[in-house]
Structure 1
Amino acid sequence: MDDVMIRSAASRSTKAAPASSFTGTVLQDSMATPQAPSRTSATLVTFTPGARTNWHTHKTRQVLVATQGTGMVQVKDKPPQVLRAGDVAVVPPGLVHWHGALAGHLFAHISFVETDGPDNTTWMQPVDEADYQAVAVLPKG
């Protein structure tokens, strides 16, 4: 390719994220797919209030760029961390985690993942509802 390729927003279809890997209504908009020698994909993910991923890991790192609203990311056995527009979370390979919207808040991020094939993500169980409700509120102060 000898020039910049522009994919208009109108040319991309938004799809519902699979219920087998997400809780609540989550929309995905594929922005970029790997084209050799690149291994990077980029997906705009929009979470309605209370929506979230299941616990999961990636074989390669994941970079989450928060673009709208208020969300969170949580690593297994650690407290959650709040994400707001402009925040960037870098998730190392193999780390068990989940991310999504806080209760009562819309949240969107762009997920950049360096893929090493179709099985880059290992999906696990949903985040327990009681556990989510206990942590999915903005801290006071």
Structure 2
Amino acid sequence: MVIAQSSEYSISSYKEEGTKAPNVHYIGEAWLHPILHDDDDFNYNITKAKFKANSTLDWHKHSSVQILIIVEGEAYYQERDKSPVILRTGDIIRCDKNIEHWHSSTKNSNVTYLAIYSGKEPTEWTAVLTQDEYDKVAKTLSTN
């Protein structure tokens, strides 16, 4: 009978809280946990992000496709020149490469999601999403 896991394997957990992100390209509180980064064989990164309610990222884009998997809570998501939507636990959304977008927690719900994207080029931050813009989205989506 084996009692402990073998040290021959590299085992980690996506359940780790991660590190509080520096408040540079977002409003509110966020924690990031790089689950898989800079793996030459996989060629994609997987990051767990956890945002407290009423927190948001700025507008940005990636040089690769990005997949967001909502693990827990609710999120807002919007691509430039499209209407925002609410994503809920279990939802998966694909953002094509070089599409300007933002995503966040909702006004009243924390969100945890897994982001899958290529790490070959850094995220390109394109515009600030102001608290006023975020509040307008929250108000619009709460009345629908």
Same structural fold, with TM-score higher than 0.5 when normalized by the shorter chain: yes
Deviations 1:4-63 (A, max 9, x none): 6321468x6711122111211011111111321221111110110111111000000100
Residues 83 and 9 (structure 1), Cα distance of their counterparts in 2 relative to 1, 3 Å cut: closer
Seen in structure 2, the aligned counterparts of structure 1 residues 93 and 136 have a Cα distance that, compared at 3 Å, is same
Structure 2: where are the runs of 5+ without partners? Answer: 1-7
Structure 1: runs of 5 or more not aligned: none
Identity among equivalent positions (%) equals 22
Correspondence 1:136 to 2:141: no
Cα distance in 2 for partners of 1:80, 1:107 equals 16
Q: Which residue of 80, 92, 96 corresponds with 1:92? A: 96
Q: Judging changes above 3 Å, is the alpha-carbon distance between structure 1 residues 125 and 60 closer, same or farther for their aligned structure 2 residues? A: same
Which residue does 1:67 correspond to in 2? 71
Of 102, 112, 115, 2:116 maps to 112
Amino acid at match of 2:130: D
The count of residues paired between Structure 1 and Structure 2 equals: 136
- Matched with 1:6 is 11
1:40-59 alignment runs, 5 A limit: 40-59=44-63
RMSD between aligned residues? 2.0
Report how far residue 120 of structure 1 moved. 2.8
Paired residue secondary structure (1:5):
coil
Structure 2 counterpart SS, 1:45? strand
Question: TM-score, normalised to structure 1's length?
Answer: 0.86
Provide the rounded CA distance (Å) in 1 between the counterparts of 2:116 and 2:43: 10
Q: Distance in 2 between matches of 1:4 and 1:80?
A: 42
The TM-score normalised by the length of structure 2 is: 0.84
Letter aligned with residue 31 of structure 1 = I
Check whether the contact 1:23–1:126 (CA below 8 A) recurs between aligned residues: no
Look up the match of 1:17. Answer: 21
Q: Give the whole-Å Cα distance in 1 for the aligned partners of 2:17 and 2:105.
A: 22
Instruction: Decide which structure has the larger Cα Rg and report it.
Output: 2
